[in-house]
Chains A and B, each alone.
Chain A
Amino acid sequence: MVEFRNVTKKYSNGTVALKNVSFKIEKGEFVFIIGPSGSGKSTLMKLIMKEEVPTEGDVFVNGYEVSAMDMYDVPYLRRSLGIVFQDFRLLPNKTVYENVAFAMQITEALPRDIRRQVPMALALVGLSKKANVYPAQLSGGEQQRVALARALVNNPSLLIADEPTGNLDPETSMEIMRLLCEINHRGTTVIVATHEKSIVDMLKKRVIALDKGVLARDQQKGIYTNEDKNSQIYS
């Protein structure tokens, strides 16, 4: 599903964001990418959606060799992913319904399919009643749910979320995480980058911890703080 092989990312200003990172995520997994700010979480997400290319190493996503991919094919990679951002990134001049439908329009989907899929996606995130409202009229949690519906409407096999709860209060954050778990239960692979300890600790999913660009820990049913007493990284 997603594989990093000895990936190093060096930015042109000299910052080394990732150092020789390797891991593999299988279909149907739920994975947290954790670490403090500047640890390389965002870079890792950007490499998955090919917003950045690795300096060294290979990245494979959904069968694409992302690191060697032509720019022309990038839109098709992104359509096979559902992407959720910290700042929602909804189109302000489109209604909730139109925002979700737009993700299908760009794939040249049949209008019939759009009319069927969009209400389903909105029902899944519990926003059926707000279909004709503009994003500005929604709360942060609601906006993020719209973004989730948009990410899901094309039935992607992989959903990646970069700090999806970063702009939300704890209660709404839990709501979003519950939704992500439900999506995972339906068979979608979910990767969430976060630095929110409470969420990671509560869900006990696989945890990939990054520290200063190095893969510090890859643990099944992990929590945010490393239980290994020999390591003081997150104490």
Chain B
Amino acid sequence: MKIRTAKYIVKEGILNVYKNKLMSLASIGIIIASLLLFGIFLLIVLNLDHNTRALESIPQLEVFCNYNLDETLVADVEKAIREDDRIAEYHMVTKKEAFEKLKEKFKGNEDILEGYDESFLPVSFIIKLKDPRDSSEIKEKFENMDKVESVEWPQKSIELITKASSWIKIISGILIAILLIISVFIISNTIKLTVFARRKEISIMKYIGATDWFIRWPFIVEGVIIGIIGAVVALILSSYAYRAVEVKLGNDIVSVSMGFFEMLKFKDVVLVLVLFYSFLGGVVGAIGSVVSLRKHLRV
């Protein structure tokens, strides 16, 4: 293709967006709507994904030894933990450390602990698992050791949350796929209307010897421009909406104190959004043009 032809094609594509203002606006509106819907699900999935990873990184289990174990017996428990290859790492909480923690907890009311020392507290091990799905098995294994008093989950609900989040991810994935198909359909249908309105023009071009690609390219440029405009508007809207949710959730005492729900910063998701939006807007617009033109090029 020669440069002057490329110039003609780009100019024609831009002019067509402008000349068919109403149609372009309609297409842009539909693209914005589909992209926003798509964006909502994408952001939910991204945040869930991020938080599942955060969940996995917090201590999964705490193994409490019998409080009257002496050091050699504690070392036996430690050895069992060290030799279990499903455990990524562990940290021993000594009686002293446990007592410090307790004192911190009762800060301001230290007199409650008066007369006590660390000897009544058990030694514990905070262990981090390689795979959170092993947690119940490991819990059972250590509970059956007679030197171990109990094994606790730092968050009782952790199992439930992991399960729920994986379901939400699957459902969002399906919804995104459906939305994607619907968007492609709507966008290509809108372009079909534009093409139909100009079918006479297309046939004239064919009669005077224009190649199919010479006719197609301006439509593709038009589709891409409409898609990109839609993507930009959708991006601006999503950025405002996301920030608003972020502020609301950030101030929410429950989610903060629970400590396991952390929203991604907007700057962390913006690149993914830009990529998805421009890809969907632009490429779908272009493909829509080509598909809708096919019938009218057979002259």
Binding site for B on A (CB under 8 A): 49, 51, 75-79, 81, 83, 85, 89-93, 102-103, 105-108, 111, 150
In whole angstroms, what is the CA distance A83 to B209 when docked? 10
B201 within 8 A of partner (CB): yes
Contact partner of B210 among A77, A85, A106, A150, CB < 8 A? A106
B208 within 8 A of partner (CB): yes
In whole angstroms, what is the CA distance A43 to B212 when docked? 23
- Mask: chain B, 181-213; 1 = CB below 8 Å from A; 0 = not: 000000000000000000011011111111110
Evaluate whether A91 and B204 lie within 8 angstroms (CB atoms) in the complex, with A51-B299, A108-B5 already known.
yes
Contacts of A103 in B (CB 8 A): 208-209
Contact partner of A91 among B4, B19, B201, B214, CB < 8 A? B201
Contact partner of B2 among A75, A92, A108, CB < 8 A? A108
Q: Tell me how far the C-beta of A18 lies from the nearest C-beta in chain B, rounded to whole angstroms.
A: 20
Q: Judge whether B4 and A79 touch: CB under 8 Å.
A: no
Q: Judge whether B207 and A89 touch: CB under 8 Å.
A: yes
Contact partner of A107 among B200, B204, B209, CB < 8 A? B209
In whole angstroms, what is the CA distance A129 to B277 when docked? 49
B106 within 8 A of partner (CB): no
B240 within 8 A of partner (CB): no
B8 within 8 A of partner (CB): yes
Contacts A78-B206, A102-B208, A106-B214 known; list 18 others, CB within 8 Å.
Answer: A75-B206, A75-B214, A77-B209, A78-B207, A78-B209, A79-B208, A79-B209, A83-B208, A89-B204, A91-B201, A92-B201, A93-B19, A103-B209, A105-B5, A106-B205, A108-B2, A108-B5, A111-B4
Residue of B nearest to A77 (CB): B209
- List the 10 closest pairs (A to B, CB-CB), nearest first: A78-B209, A79-B209, A106-B210, A75-B211, A75-B209, A89-B204, A103-B208, A108-B2, A108-B5, A106-B214
Q: Judge whether B208 and A106 touch: CB under 8 Å.
A: yes
Contacts of B4 in A (CB 8 A): 108, 111
State the main secondary structure of chain B at its contact with A: helix
B window 29-77: CB within 8 A of A: none
Evaluate whether A76 and B19 lie within 8 angstroms (CB atoms) in the complex, with A89-B204, A106-B214, A111-B4 already known.
no
Residue of A nearest to B207 (CB): A83
Q: Tell me how far the C-beta of B20 lies from the nearest C-beta in chain A, rounded to whole angstroms.
A: 10
In whole angstroms, what is the CA distance A49 to B209 when docked? 10
What's the tally of chain B residues with a CB closer than 8 Å to chain A? 19
Residue of A nearest to B2 (CB): A108
Contact partner of A105 among B8, B19, B207, CB < 8 A? B8
In whole angstroms, what is the CA distance A234 to B112 when docked? 125
Residue of B nearest to A104 (CB): B208
Residue of B nearest to A88 (CB): B204
B window 118-145: CB within 8 A of A: none
Contact partner of A49 among B2, B203, B207, B212, CB < 8 A? B207
Q: List 19 A-B contacts (CB under 8 A).
A: A49-B207, A51-B299, A78-B207, A78-B209, A79-B209, A81-B209, A83-B208, A89-B203, A89-B207, A91-B201, A102-B205, A102-B208, A103-B209, A105-B8, A106-B208, A106-B214, A107-B209, A108-B5, A150-B208
Contacts of B211 in A (CB 8 A): 75, 106
Q: Tell me how far the C-beta of B197 lies from the nearest C-beta in chain A, rounded to whole angstroms.
A: 12
In whole angstroms, what is the CA distance A91 to B198 when docked? 10
- Mask: chain B, 139-173; 1 = CB below 8 Å from A; 0 = not: 00000000000000000000000000000000000
In whole angstroms, what is the CA distance A150 to B8 when docked? 19
In whole angstroms, what is the CA distance A150 to B208 when docked? 9
B window 15-37: CB within 8 A of A: 19
Residue of B nearest to A111 (CB): B4
In whole angstroms, what is the CA distance A105 to B19 when docked? 20
Contacts of B214 in A (CB 8 A): 75, 106
Q: Tell me how far the C-beta of A149 lies from the nearest C-beta in chain B, rounded to whole angstroms.
A: 12
Q: Tell me how far the C-beta of B189 lies from the nearest C-beta in chain A, rounded to whole angstroms.
A: 24
Q: Tell me how far the C-beta of A36 lies from the nearest C-beta in chain B, rounded to whole angstroms.
A: 25
Contacts of A79 in B (CB 8 A): 208-209
Q: Tell me how far the C-beta of A120 lies from the nearest C-beta in chain B, rounded to whole angstroms.
A: 18
Residue of B nearest to A83 (CB): B207
In whole angstroms, what is the CA distance A102 to B205 when docked? 9
- Mask: chain B, 209-241; 1 = CB below 8 Å from A; 0 = not: 111101000000000000000000000000000
Evaluate whether A106 and B209 lie within 8 angstroms (CB atoms) in the complex, with A91-B201, A91-B204, A111-B4 already known.
yes
In whole angstroms, what is the CA distance A51 to B200 when docked? 15
